[in-house]
Structure 1
Amino acid sequence: MKHLPILIALSAFIGACQKGPTAWDGPVMSSPRSQLTVDELLQGKPQPLMDMSFFARPDWAEDSAAAPFSGILSLAASPLVFPKEKAYYPGEDRFPRISLSFVASQGQLIPGRKDRMDTRQQSDSYWDVIPGAGRVWREKGDGAWSRASFPLTLTDRWVGQARNCVATFVYGQDSVSQVCLQCSQETADIDDRQLGNIRAVLPASFQPMPLPDSAAVVSRHLEEEEGRLPVRPLGEAPGSEALAAYFGQMGYTSAPTSLGAVMLDSTLFLHPPKTRHGLFPYPEEMRHGLYSVTKSMAGALSLFYFAERYGPGLLEEPVSRYVAALAGRGGWEGVTFRHLLDMTTGTAGGEGAAQLFAPLIAAETAEEAIHNIAALGDAPPLPGQQFNYASTNSFVLSYALQRYVESREGEGVHYWELVREHVLNPIGAPHFTVLHTLEADASAAIPILAYGALPTLDEAAKIGLLLANGGQHAGEQLLHRETVLEALDPAAWEGFATGGDYRGGAYQHSFWSKEVAGQDCRFRVSYMLGFGENYVAFLPGKTLLFRFMDEHDLNIEELARRAEGMRSFCP
């Protein structure tokens, strides 16, 4: 893997006894501002870590006084101040050179693109970029200058961590200051010592111009805002105190929970979006690297959709019919799409370096990965007999789905684009992002599906709600109902016993489950689970629980019991 030669597999946990980035107790924004002044931004003065309130529009600002802003903001490749416990991966301490289009409207700073931006061609940085919508405003004492800030996610190309950053600058009619960037929260690999604060001052230039589709960009953004699920503070939900206290517990860092929320009756109740330097100014734009949650949120979602589109017989199709590299491999004989989803392929695989890092993470292209997986060898169990969790199965699912869809729809039709068009767009999650293979021709890339989902809360909640509703949205059946119920309803199917796996007692179509002893009864919880202990949990009564973090708090029982204070889960 030429771009990341020193990337290692999951290493031993560094231990809770080591001290991570500490809590912030410095000043917060007040009038007049004491940091990020116009002069400091114009001079490109290096900035210390500071409270996130300095990057946000203050209550006393005036949106209407902000100057118009429309055009291309270009950021130069620059060094990042990123204290770490271990050596940098190549380019990890570099911000990429990138150009971002923006248009300001009604006090908002709206990016022309909200999808993941691949920086490989113009930069040697480790990071790709996902911009979000921010704000523009004026402050007393800034003279003729207006201010802007916007959220920005930095994500790697190999496993899909997410660095939650905010950038800010001042601007005039045809010029901008340098841009100050700070990243004080992340979902990353604590075992690989990736947690830590990032800051930088980025040289910037501005090309003022009307965006050719600016009216459509603004209209689309406003429509997406209008379509978001309602969000209320968690403290407004009766009985939420115990759950809020759990979300607020300290861990390796002072802000272990990147996101905590509960959905009750299609309303999200959100725990304050804490970072190590105050509240994140744009929680609705915050993206989260969820690792193996991807298997359920993207992998199962895709197969459930195609089971509805083509019929449930798809699940029984032999995989080797569509994956030439596996044809004639004894261990893959008889393996179906269903076996891939259930982790019961009976093939060699696992989560160690030899089964995961070398064949999949270290591979760049889909063909390289699938040939690596084919070479892993055979295992004794026959397909469908024994649960064996292996991320390589999820990638084989992606590869096979692509070939299957092409056999039905024609060469060059991408299955993920069909999922986007027929599932994600209708539910209002058009920008839901998943990690793809690294192809020379980016249009040939396919999702990994084993890891790499980067949802916002709204996207994750809409996908969760669609599943909780049996795959139905606005009266239309988007996913195959019976297969969704097999995944989430114990009355439909109990799933495969996991043999005492610490992550859960049963596994159904990429969802874990276990029984929880509640206050007055026992109830089952089904959940998506990702490395670092990222959860999307399905509780009785269509109650959804979200916790995104990276500090290994694997305790779904305690989370579920604390959520009982908000709603009874007994029949």
Structure 2
Amino acid sequence: MEYTKKVKTRIAVVMLSMLTFISGYAGVWISGDDGLSMQPSMRDHLTFEDLMNPEYSGDGPIDNRYFLPIGESAPALDDLRGTLTVPRMVMEKSTYRYNDYQNFPGFSVDFFTYEGYLVPVTRTLIVSPGNWSLILSPGKVWSEPGDRGMSRASFPFTLGSPPDRITAGGEAHNGVATFLFDSTQISAFRFQVTQETAPDGDIYDMWGHFPMEYHPAGIPDQETLEAQFADELASQMPIHPWSELESLYDPQVLTSLTVDIPPNEISAAGIVVDGVLYLQPSLTRYGEYPYPRYMHHAAMSISKSIGAGIGMLWLAQRYGEGVFDLHVTDYLEVSANHDGWDEVTFGDVLNMATGVGEYAPYPRPFDPTANESGGNYINWYLAETTAEKQSIVFEQGNYPWGPGEIFRYTSAQTFVLSAAMDAFLKTQAGPDAHLWEMLQEEVFRPIGVYHMTMIHVPNGPGNPGIPLMASGLRITVDDMGKIVTLLQNGGRHNGDQLLNASKLAEALYQTDQAIGLPSGKTFTFGDQAYHMSFWSIAHRTQDGRFFQVPFMSGSGGNTIFLAPNGVTTFVFTDFGQDAYSLNCPSLAESIQPYPGEGIRIGLLVLKGVWLIPENLQKIRIANDLLLSWIGLCAASWVFLLVHITRSARVTPRLKWVWLLITLLLGPLSLLAYLIFDRRSRHAAVIET
């Protein structure tokens, strides 16, 4: 009994200790960026003393929750209006590598507060030689009792690949920063970067504690800027937690979206359906990201679809579908020493079917990415100007086939298309027209995508350069949700047709015929295809209809699937594998059925979406043979039926046996019957 009492006492003490510990961190629910987050109820990191100390005290990143309000909080006690300046300084990092890229780029940017938000005036890509590029996004301001009359602020930011590391293709490293302020003074600038989309393997933490200057001053056109930000808030896409979707549909089915991907490898994943984006938690190595709506993702080759693909669809709406038939040589100085480019159209480049390339000069076996490696590929990425990049592209050889015949994925040629599109636009809209600026003005801003950034390649003084388009896009889930909604709505927004409807339907494989060039990959229900910058995967619905489901794809495993039922699934990751994506067409179908009849297959056996010519020919021969056999069986059955009906030598039961066998074996059974009938006749003659 005494032993039992001691055990019970120890258990009680342990439980009391646990409750005491938990109560200190039990947290209160506070409103996060797009939902509710459990926060500690007491601030023991990033305290007033920590931030007011000019020297850094700490041993690395902390949980991201501390960059949001902790415990009791209230609105900010002061407005912030003026210029914030942070110098270029050496960051701490969790790796001994990348010492050439260890400086925080610094910035000097106007900020203002608006209804609890901290808003940077500059939202474009801030680029300076030898530095990480920088994207600043809106954050929050508030006050806490322990801050001695000062207010707090935090905001998200993104570090992008330095210009001389353009081989990284536009990777995105997401961080969050915080500081204290009042009307006259400001604390140190504390930040940490603990998440990224970096398929090249640049995965590590960065952090720092830097001096910061605040120069209070009026913001030029602040009323206009406030109105623009209010419009931005009003046009935000509704983002609901993933748990809400799990309450509507089978959670086990929903897990197939990111199956086999470790949660810490996922930058963002979710589903867009009926105008709502359902988002999984945006995890970092130090807790959830405080501002998931503003987390930027390295789109990588998804840039080809959203940049070049949508760009061509916009040009087709503005100037007619004939833009797909324009010749590259009419708009660019092609320096190639062969005539391979002479007949290449804008559409051929968008289809990755120029017939021009350096490696694997044979159509079979399939080698669709032959031009995505080797010296030319690296040299092209490292080239710093538009002229240098084009020169490297045009130095490549000519394949023995012509344009439009063989799919060869070549990122460098997408940049050539971008330059040609820009040159064409200048012939129509004037020399001051710039492709990305007009695309933003006439497509992206009208749908509420105000600050999506694209890497530009210098093209001489006095202009913004040529958009890379091959990669270089950094996109938020809010941007992505609005763009896929535009595509799913046939290129129409608020009654305005922004993209050419018929060409968009073609790009999204919304036809009754199998289209696109085969990539060489074959899956359960048919061949993978590429068409107008969109990939497709063959899918058979539960009731037996066939579809080509379009998707965008980027290095690292990034995918955006646009199912024909209006459901969009997306995953941003640098895990390096995309096998999970095979589940996306079925996952979309589990949410709502696919509409329409699908693709007209016209096959009796081996039904599927077949595009590889030699395989398709074999399948058609097999189907022709089957049709011929069915025809012979039918003719044999009819002949036998007529003959056997007139015969008195066959019993009724035997008649049905012969008819059934002939239905299955056709002319073989008929031949057997005729032999049997002849012998029966012969036997009857002998008997008589």
Q: Which residue does the alignment assign to 1:129?
A: 134
Q: 2:42 touches 2:70 (CA, 8 Å); kept in 1?
A: no
Q: Does 1:356 align with 2:377?
A: yes
Q: Does 1:560 align with 2:585?
A: yes
Q: Which residue does the alignment assign to 1:533?
A: 557
Q: Does 1:546 align with 2:556?
A: no
Q: Which residue does the alignment assign to 1:201?
A: 209
Q: Does 1:497 align with 2:517?
A: yes
Q: 1:487 touches 1:509 (CA, 8 Å); kept in 2?
A: yes
Which one-letter code corresponds to 2:478 in the other structure?
A: D
Pairwise mapping of residues 313-324 of structure 1 onto structure 2 (< 5 A)?
313-324=322-333
Structure 2 unmatched runs, 5+:
1-24, 26-37, 359-370, 597-688
Q: Which residue does the alignment assign to 2:265?
A: 256
User: Residues 399 and 563 (structure 1 numbering): CA distance in 2 closer, same or farther, change over 3 Å?
Assistant: same
For 1:60 and 1:240, the matched residues in 2 are separated by 38
Q: 2:509 touches 2:549 (CA, 8 Å); kept in 1?
A: no
Counting aligned pairs with the same residue, the percent is 30
Pairwise mapping of residues 148-167 of structure 1 onto structure 2 (< 5 A)?
148-156=153-161, 157=163, 158=166, 159-167=169-177
Q: Which residue does the alignment assign to 2:82?
A: 71
* Deviation by residue 1:451-493 (Cα, 9 ceiling, x = unmatched): 0111111111211111122211111111111111111134166
The 3-state SS of whatever aligns with 2:196 is strand
For 1:206 and 1:461, the matched residues in 2 are separated by 36
For 1:452 and 1:476, the matched residues in 2 are separated by 28
Q: 1:45 touches 1:201 (CA, 8 Å); kept in 2?
A: yes
1:547 CA drift (Å): 0.8
TM-score by length of 2: 0.74
1:498 CA drift (Å): 2.4
Q: Does 1:465 align with 2:485?
A: yes
* Deviation by residue 1:391-446 (Cα, 9 ceiling, x = unmatched): 01210110101111112222231122111111111111121211111456372411
The 3-state SS of whatever aligns with 2:560 is strand
Q: 1:512 touches 1:529 (CA, 8 Å); kept in 2?
A: yes
Q: Does 1:36 align with 2:63?
A: no
1:559 CA drift (Å): 3.3
* Deviation by residue 1:66-117 (Cα, 9 ceiling, x = unmatched): 3111111101111122223x73163x11101211211012111011121111
255, 259, 275: which one pairs with 1:245?
Answer: 255
The 3-state SS of whatever aligns with 2:177 is strand
Which one-letter code corresponds to 1:513 in the other structure?
A: S
Q: 1:135 touches 1:149 (CA, 8 Å); kept in 2?
A: yes
For 2:274 and 2:582, the matched residues in 1 are separated by 22
Q: Which residue does the alignment assign to 1:507?
A: 530
The 3-state SS of whatever aligns with 1:335 is coil
For 2:304 and 2:283, the matched residues in 1 are separated by 27
Q: 2:376 touches 2:392 (CA, 8 Å); kept in 1?
A: no
TM-score by length of 1: 0.89
Pairwise mapping of residues 408-487 of structure 1 onto structure 2 (< 5 A)?
408-438=428-458, 441=461, 443-487=463-507
Q: Which residue does the alignment assign to 1:407?
A: 427
Pairwise mapping of residues 275-314 of structure 1 onto structure 2 (< 5 A)?
275-314=284-323
1:566 CA drift (Å): 2.9
Q: Which residue does the alignment assign to 1:106?
A: 115
For 1:471 and 1:256, the matched residues in 2 are separated by 33
For 2:61 and 2:287, the matched residues in 1 are separated by 11
1:561 CA drift (Å): 3.1
Q: CA-atom RMSD, angstroms? A: 2.2
For 1:295 and 1:526, the matched residues in 2 are separated by 14
Which one-letter code corresponds to 1:142 in the other structure?
A: D
Q: 2:84 touches 2:212 (CA, 8 Å); kept in 1?
A: yes
Q: Which residue does the alignment assign to 1:20?
A: none
For 2:218 and 2:431, the matched residues in 1 are separated by 37
1:339 CA drift (Å): 0.2
Which one-letter code corresponds to 1:61 in the other structure?
A: S
User: After TM superposition, where is structure 1 displaced by more than 4 Å over at least 4 residues in a row?
Assistant: 246-251, 517-523
1:389 CA drift (Å): 0.7
46, 53, 67: which one pairs with 1:55?
Answer: 67
1:248 CA drift (Å): 6.4
Q: Does 1:230 align with 2:238?
A: yes
User: Residues 116 and 240 (structure 1 numbering): CA distance in 2 closer, same or farther, change over 3 Å?
Assistant: farther
Structure 1 unmatched runs, 5+:
1-26
Q: Which residue does the alignment assign to 2:539?
A: 516
| Of 263-272 and 287-296, the range deviating more from structure 2 | 263-272
For 1:384 and 1:523, the matched residues in 2 are separated by 23
243, 261, 274: which one pairs with 1:265?
Answer: 274
1:383 CA drift (Å): 0.5
Which one-letter code corresponds to 2:296 in the other structure?
A: R
For 2:46 and 2:235, the matched residues in 1 are separated by 34
198, 212, 219: which one pairs with 1:211?
Answer: 219
Q: Which residue does the alignment assign to 2:187?
A: 177
User: Residues 221 and 240 (structure 1 numbering): CA distance in 2 closer, same or farther, change over 3 Å?
Assistant: farther
Which one-letter code corresponds to 2:327 in the other structure?
A: P
User: Aligned pair count?
Assistant: 534
The 3-state SS of whatever aligns with 1:394 is helix
* Deviation by residue 1:182-231 (Cα, 9 ceiling, x = unmatched): 11111112xx3201222111221111112112222221111111011222
| Of 427-436 and 43-52, the range deviating more from structure 2 | 43-52
1:517 CA drift (Å): 5.0
User: Residues 205 and 34 (structure 1 numbering): CA distance in 2 closer, same or farther, change over 3 Å?
Assistant: same
| Of 519-528 and 95-104, the range deviating more from structure 2 | 519-528
Q: Does 1:365 align with 2:366?
A: no
Flag the structure with more relative contact order, 1 or 2, with Cα contacts below 8 A and sequence separation at least 6.
Answer: 1
For 2:459 and 2:326, the matched residues in 1 are separated by 27
| Of 165-174 and 41-50, the range deviating more from structure 2 | 41-50
Q: 1:511 touches 1:526 (CA, 8 Å); kept in 2?
A: yes
